[in-house]
Structure 1
């Protein structure tokens, strides 16, 4: 998306490119959004961000659990952040959607592939966006089988 305004005679034209933004979903009525615990009127809270998580060795615990994958017809989300870990210090939170890890898009990965990528290196550059609505809609009403409800601790 681009925003443009007409410059005055003494100014040059300015073009601002904004990243993609997912508005709150339709199932949360506008009058309930301010009281919803996951809603924030600050758009910056929902824009993609990149963090770099470093750990001493690939076998060291990452500090969060994930859920989702293409076999569940879902994006991959952070489902738990373990206290006092690097992940918590970096600001990961439940409802963060993992968009990419080390340049690999997570949009079409199945769960085992995502886990393999996350566990394969000690330096993890993750692109995330906070999307609690998608996380809640995907997981709140669904009953998972034992296999899918067991989170992966990393």
Structure 2
């Protein structure tokens, strides 16, 4: 994401927080900026390292965890439970209602794409879970995949 897109997204995040009565402090905004500039999901410790490089000062890991919790609560970031890493929401600048997020995670290069799941698919999952005698705690899905670039490389390598 280029500088202009990051700034525009941070502005939309501030507007979203203001609308919900939350406060996007400078440090929270900086943590979100680190996520927005990253090409891959980051652990809290990755964020600590990048934050100190970008902003010239240390930030405690426990503070980063609290900030990430805030960003997730405000739907500005998502936690990938399977990897214990975080990424900025892909829909911060959108004005439409968001679907339930589904994350496609490349097992080779760790690229992650966020897509939305149709409500009827979530209902079908919820019904199947209930029929099995369970209650769905979270409808977030994380699918292990292979991105097109890595798939092409694996075919090229196999042909050699």
Same fold at TM > 0.5: no
TM-score (norm. length: structure 2): 0.27
TM-score (norm. length: structure 1): 0.28
Q: Which has the higher helix share?
A: 2
Q: Which has the higher strand share?
A: 1
